[in-house]
Amino acid sequence: MYERTGQRRTEANHTPVCKNLIKIAVSDNSQGTELSHSIFSLHHSIFQEKSTLTMKPTSHPSMALFRGWDTPTHYVWSPFVTKVEFRLRLSALPYTSLVGSPRTAPRGKIPYLSLSAPSSNTPTEWLSDSTLIFRTLIDRGAIPDLNATLSPTQKAHDLAIRALLEEKLYFTQGRERWVQNYYTMRDHTLWSIPYPLRVVIGNLAYRANLRKFYDHGAGRFSDDETRAFVKEIWSGVGALLEESKRNVKGDVCFWVLGGKEPTEADATVFGFAVSTLVCDAAPESRELVKMEFPVVVEYAERIHRRWFAEYEMW
Ligand SMILES: N[C@@H](CCC(=O)N[C@@H](CS)C(=O)NCC(=O)O)C(=O)O
């Protein structure tokens, strides 16, 4: 079920961060029937060895990422899942993609990660919340702190971009998904629940989301006001990306803070850009980004080509 041909990297060639991770959690990540697909998800440019490896069930990577959907080699609709995937790939950390669900998640939300001990089928640790996942992995030396060399002002800008998307756009766009395109969202999000029950659970989720948007504040605006907020946010992100793109030559990646390397905010921007481009339950946002902020699409496409080449594009 989870055989996959990929390019192999030997232990000797692991980067120090990989070695560190392997030290903290070398494992066999068997998850019984939940193991839907295996992605030894390091980008091909990182695994530049000539030999190829057919991954056998006995050679699972040590880290499993629970993405919420059983859609191998497709981006999922959650911006936070893609945020984590990009960050792991950027740091050359192998992981297995599993399905999981908010119902079994440590904090009731996807994404979450499990780490397993050597020669054990049982995860020894669960990590959840994209930001806290990164913080833990950084603290353990498994991934580098992308913001380590930023000035305090740059760090504040990076944080502000993440907060804008994760704490404002998420809820503002969430209304488009859960209210204006409820049935599309319900059927995609509750895909694992059989139909009659899905109607009931969908109704509960709908009401819970209305309450959540209202409490957050995003649910107190008219459609036009909401639309204007969404546009303002993408316009701000688009302006940053335009400026950054002007400073690179050719087809290379450019980054939201305009530096030569990505910062933490890029994982968030990429996650939200992709989520907007692939989500059928937010067609207006997708159209807006495609038509009015093509630089966002280009930004995502360049990252996609370099780190997610085996994934289907939007
Ligand atoms: N702060 C969390 C947010 C994750 C999140 O909101 N996940 C959504 C999917 S995009 C979820 O699982 N929602 C299910 C729920 O709230 O019941 C993170 O950064 O990981």
Provide the pLDDT for residue 19: 41
* Domain end marker among 116, 139, 162: 139
Q: Is the CB of 82 under 6 A from ligand 1?
A: no
Provide the pLDDT for residue 151: 98
Cα→Cα distances 230→180, 191, 220, 243, 286, Å: 15, 27, 14, 20, 11
* Domain end marker among 115, 139, 163: 139
One domain, residues 86 and 177: no
One domain, residues 267 and 289: yes
188 occurs within a structural domain: yes
One domain, residues 112 and 158: no
Residue type present at position 42: L
One domain, residues 47 and 119: yes
One domain, residues 23 and 128: yes
Residues in the chain: 314
Provide the pLDDT for residue 117: 83
Instruction: For strands 4-7 and 96-98, give the pairing.
Output: unpaired
CA–CA gap between residue 48 and residue 60 (Å, rounded): 20
Q: Is the CB of 130 under 6 A from ligand 1?
A: yes
Shortest-distance atom of ligand 1 to CA 68: 12
Q: Is the CB of 110 under 6 A from ligand 1?
A: yes
One domain, residues 118 and 10: yes
Q: Is the CB of 78 under 6 A from ligand 1?
A: yes
> What count of other Cβ atoms lies within 10 Å of the Cβ of residue 121?
13
146 occurs within a structural domain: no
Could you list the residue range(s) of the whole structural domain that residue 287 is in? 152-307
Residue of 66, 69, 80 best suited for mutating to test ligand 1, as the one with most atoms within 8 Å of CB: 80
E-strand spans in 182-288? none
What residues have CB less than 8 Å from 258, skipping those under 6 apart?
A: 240, 243, 244, 247
One domain, residues 70 and 18: yes
One domain, residues 106 and 85: yes
314 occurs within a structural domain: no
85 occurs within a structural domain: yes
Q: The CATH number of the domain where 193 resides is what?
A: 1.20.1050
One domain, residues 112 and 160: no
Omega cis (within 30) before 94: no
Q: The CATH number of the domain where 126 resides is what?
A: 3.40.30.10
Provide the pLDDT for residue 7: 27
Please tell me the residue having the least CA distance from ligand 1 atom 14: 109
pTM across the whole model:
0.84
* Domain end marker among 106, 139, 172: 139
Shortest-distance atom of ligand 1 to CA 133: 20
Please tell me the residue having the least CA distance from ligand 1 atom 20: 129
> What count of other Cβ atoms lies within 10 Å of the Cβ of residue 156?
11
Contacts by residues 289-294 (CB-CB < 8 Å, ≥ 24 positions apart) = 289/234, 292/231, 292/234, 292/235, 292/238, 293/234, 293/235, 293/237, 293/238
Provide the pLDDT for residue 251: 95
Q: Is the CB of 112 under 6 A from ligand 1?
A: no
One domain, residues 194 and 292: yes
Q: Is the CB of 62 under 6 A from ligand 1?
A: no
147 occurs within a structural domain: no
E-strand spans in the chain? 4-7, 52-55, 63-66, 96-98, 112-116, 123-128
One domain, residues 170 and 229: yes
242 occurs within a structural domain: yes
313 occurs within a structural domain: no
Residue of 83, 103, 110 best suited for mutating to test ligand 1, as the one with most atoms within 8 Å of CB: 110
Mean pLDDT, consecutive 10-residue stretches, the chain (314 aa), reads 26 35 34 30 27 33 89 96 98 94 95 87 92 97 97 98 98 95 97 95 97 97 96 98 97 97 98 98 98 98 98 96
Please tell me the residue having the least CA distance from ligand 1 atom 16: 109
214 occurs within a structural domain: yes
Q: How many domains does the chain have?
A: 2
Q: Is the CB of 80 under 6 A from ligand 1?
A: yes
One domain, residues 158 and 192: yes
